[in-house]
Amino acid sequence: MRTIRQRPAFPPEVGLRTIITTRGPMPQHCWLRELRPGTEEEYIRRHQELWPEMKEAIHAAGIRDYHIYLNGLQVIGVFECDDLEATLAFQKTNEAMGRWAAHNKEMFTPMSATPPGKMPLVREVWHLP
């Protein structure tokens, strides 16, 4: 059986709502951002060369099974974590995540450039188990 809980989106000013769907032991989340035109290849390169300390920070934040997809200028991230609030709180204070966000900020459109600890989460509308 599926459990659905609704929470406000991060950042709240975007006006989206997030539905966190529990599939087995861990909730899955999805975020969406938009790249500035011409930055797609650099975005891919930076993620292919992801800093080791960033990989460690992602795991330390409780994030697992993390995928990032690129569709034109849209960047879509899908990940699992046990406690979204704890994950976001960790991101706000982690030095490596702060440096990574600053390093990549110029590639995102202004509405998509969010600081660590805030994610433009999107809502799930359908799921086929």
Active site amino acids: 47
CA angle 83, 87, 92 (to 5 degrees): 150
End-to-end Cα separation, the chain, in angstroms: 10
For the chain, the residue count is 129
Range 56-60, long-range pairs (CB < 8 A, 24+ positions): 56/96, 57/94, 57/96, 57/97, 57/100, 60/90, 60/94
Beta bridge partners of 61: none
Reduced to 3 states, what is the DSSP secondary structure of residue 103? helix
